[in-house]
Amino acid sequence: MSCHGDGGLAPNSPMVGITKKFPIMRRGEFTTIEDRINGCFVRSMNGEKLDKDSREMKAMVAYFEFISKDVESEDDITWRMSNDKKKVPEPDVANGAELFTKKNCIACHATDGSGTSDHTGPQLWGDGSFNEAAGMTKIEKASGFIQNNMPKGKEGSLTDQEAADLAAFVLSHERPLGGDKVGDYHLKSKRTYITKERREQIRNGTFDWTQLDVIIPKDQNKDDKKGKAKNQNN
């Protein structure tokens, strides 16, 4: 299963133009497209790296170059990072649990997130899911991806709050820790990765979401909505 539907051509999570971004300087060293592909295998798929000279790696790079052939530079990739939300309303995990059934997420991902329902989707938590070092464990990325891509056939139908609640519910479950704990994965006080410690706090109700700098506190979110409603009525 892939996050990048339709062979990386789907408008909400496209891979078109990705080769124009690499190589880039990251963490004091050059990162190539091959490095980025392996990062996806190791983190997002909780798998193992491909040999950079392998047939499989060369085939993937060739395909990305093919679908990116009409993109001249990185500046032309206006759709990059479209799933990353700058701000996320403070989540309600209990409501996310209800929405997981109400919005029929279970049709593809099963009630236990295993992805073993009639219409098989990727596993969302447990041993076969993306690991703790994956970008999807950041609340702003998970919320944006869910809102833009789910539910299948009704993409874009979820509100900001619903997407945040669903993301928080999914991220509250256990997943592999991952072995690639380098660079931006090392937590600082306001990093938004939902780690094992944070998952435990979320489940026991002691996690303070507002410590994450992307979170809009509930009180502030309510005030913003009241202000918008007042302006619309005037």
Which 3 state secondary structure label does DSSP give 41? Answer: helix
75 vs 64: CA distance, rounded Å: 17
pLDDT in tens, 58-90: 999 999 999 888 877 766 565 555 678 999 999
Res. 227: pLDDT tops 70? no
CA angle, residues 76, 78, 81, in degrees to nearest 5? 130
Per-residue pLDDT band for 171 (boundaries 50, 70, 90) equals very high
1 vs 168: CA distance, rounded Å: 22
pLDDT at 47: 84
Domains and CATH numbers, the chain: 5-76 (1.10.760.10), 88-218 (1.10.760.10)
pLDDT at 67: 87
- pTM for the model: 0.79
The closest alpha carbon to 56, from 32, 25, 34, 88, belongs to 34
225 vs 160: CA distance, rounded Å: 12
Q: Are 39 and 181 in contact (CB under 8 A)?
A: no
The closest alpha carbon to 113, from 176, 175, 28, 192, belongs to 175
